Amino acid sequence: MTGVPGMSGLAGAVLIGGTSSDAGKSLLVAGLCRALARQGVRVAPFKAQNMSNNSVVTLDGGEIGRAQALQAYACGLEPSTRFNPVLLKPGGDRRSHVIVRGRPAGDVGAADYFTRRTRLLEVVTDELRSLREEFDVVICEGAGSVAEINLRDTDIANMGLAQAADLPVLLVTDIDRGGSLAHLFGTTAILGADDQSRIAGYVINKFRGDPAILAPGVEQVKQITGRPTLGVLPFDPDLWIDAEDSLASPVGRRVGPPGTAPVSAVEGALGSRLRVAAIRLPRISNSTDVEALACEPGVEVTWVDDAASVADADLAVLPGTRATLADLAWLRSRGIDAALIARAAADRPTLAICGGFQMLAHRIVDGIESTSDPSAVDGLQIFDIDVTFGTEKVVRRVSGSVAGHRIEGYEIHHGRVVRSAETGWLVDDVDGPEGARRGATYGTHWHGLLASDGFRRDFLREVAARSGVPDFTPAADISVDAIRRAQVDRIADLVSAHLDLDELVEIVRCGADPGLPTIRHSLQQRTR
């Protein structure tokens, strides 16, 4: 096996690959990172290329995928652009906004990106090398399935990375979907011989029932592939990890981490429930903003895409978007614009964040995010502001105050607000007035605002009072950070109890067993 010069002899690393998207790679990496960190191992996460509109801002003003930020949290580290050197943010018209080492690198279509992916391999291997020089172990996460053989020649995230950086690979599969043993065999078999030699073992995720029933199948997979299964992770409905992409935000889905009391259990103790309608925009970004609301007992948050649900809710949330004008047109096509305007006129609470905030302006001029005509349109005209999109993207962490509370968050946007009579809703420590408020309609560019516990509780009290639910009382002891910490520890406990960590460490130290067999089939034989 050959890799990039200079990679050999570095600290141990392993790639967690998948038989499909959503197999559990992000969760497993977070659990492994936390489990090793609790043992005193200096461990770091890494994902060469991520595709997600849910991102966070690093201390130096870069962007990385939210899953890698949570994995860094599991390691006890600040998020760093080194953990996710290439981030793709899907927009409209089959194009993606490309972030390289945390900085914007332009918008490209799929064909254009495939031509530049080979040049990005040097970027990702350089960043991985730097991590391996600094940490004892690096747990790498693949992207989607490792068996996308149509993309193999330009792959920088899965087997292409494993070959370039001399990494062993563990395959994880989601047995809850069915067919996982066949997925393990087929995924391994479809790979070329060199790539197969990297597959060191398997992990089965989300198993329900008695593991003894599965054991014969696991043994047969070992016999026909020559590879061990390092663990069978049980299905745990109370596990939660920050959503990585919009697939985790389907219309009708209730939002929020498990482990908090259900709405029905708290109505008697804390008063009536609050119903929150989170508008599921087609090009939604940073959908995780609403999860902090759902941490509160008695708050029911649901993704919706119809005007009636928006009109009926106690609080409507209009989140961020990667394409403000396109999603504004979608709002209008579904009559949701009229529902939001009616809420503002009736003094019923609405919270608009980032792109959602921009939609409430008088006029929006966008030649950056949007490729459609016209590039300038009227907004919903709830706030007395205009928005103009600039070529320079604002990406920064922020802090400030509102209603006596200290708050923190982050900004990721191209749109600049030009104020008329609006004085702002929040106060930014650096730039002064931020956002806008008109009656019970609130707008801000800040993501993460609702994770500030004291502010969130007071905001919900105000929402309850304005919505005719005066007996709603937020719980005094809910901490978003404490819930996140408990969930990461829960994942680590699950991994520690059901995965052979000694075998994992041996694979990290020594790589895949050089004696592993290659699964051959007739097509391989004819094409050799």
Alpha helices in 49-109 (DSSP H): 66-75
SS3 264: helix
> Contact 229/197 with Cβ under 8 angstroms?
no
> Contact 472/349 with Cβ under 8 angstroms?
no
Helices 66-75, 25-38: inter-axial angle, 10-degree rounding: 20
Q: What backbone phi and psi angles, to 5 degrees, belong to 71?
A: -65, -35
Active site residues: 354, 447
DSSP 480: H
> Contact 25/16 with Cβ under 8 angstroms?
yes
Q: What does DSSP say about strands 274-279 and 55-57: parallel, antiparallel, or unpaired?
A: unpaired
| Phi/psi-derived region of residue 418, left when phi > 0, alpha when psi is between -120 and 50, beta in every other case | beta
Residue located via tokens 């002064």: 432
Structure tokens that stand for 423 in this block: 């004085």
- Enclosing H/E stretch for 385: strand 385-402
The dihedral through the CA atoms of 429, 408, 359, 87 has a sign that is: positive
Q: In sequence order, which residues have a C-beta less than 8 Å from that of residue 332 and are 6 or more positions away?
A: none
Residue 97 to residues 72, 88, 318: CA-CA distances in angstroms? 23, 6, 22
The separation between the first and the last C-alpha atoms of the chain, rounded to the nearest angstrom, is 19
Q: What does DSSP say about strands 12-18 and 137-141: parallel, antiparallel, or unpaired?
A: parallel
Alpha helices in 467-510 (DSSP H): 480-498, 501-510
Minimal CA–CA distance to 137: which of 494, 514, 506? 506
Residue 157 to residues 71, 98, 160: CA-CA distances in angstroms? 17, 15, 6
> Contact 363/376 with Cβ under 8 angstroms?
yes
CA distance 100 to 123: 8
> Contact 441/483 with Cβ under 8 angstroms?
no
Q: What backbone phi and psi angles, to 5 degrees, belong to 40?
A: 90, 10
CA distance 208 to 28: 17
CA angle 159, 165, 169 (to 5 degrees): 45
DSSP 208: -
- CB atoms under 10 Å from CB of 335, counted, come to 14
CA distance 13 to 6: 14
> Contact 406/452 with Cβ under 8 angstroms?
yes
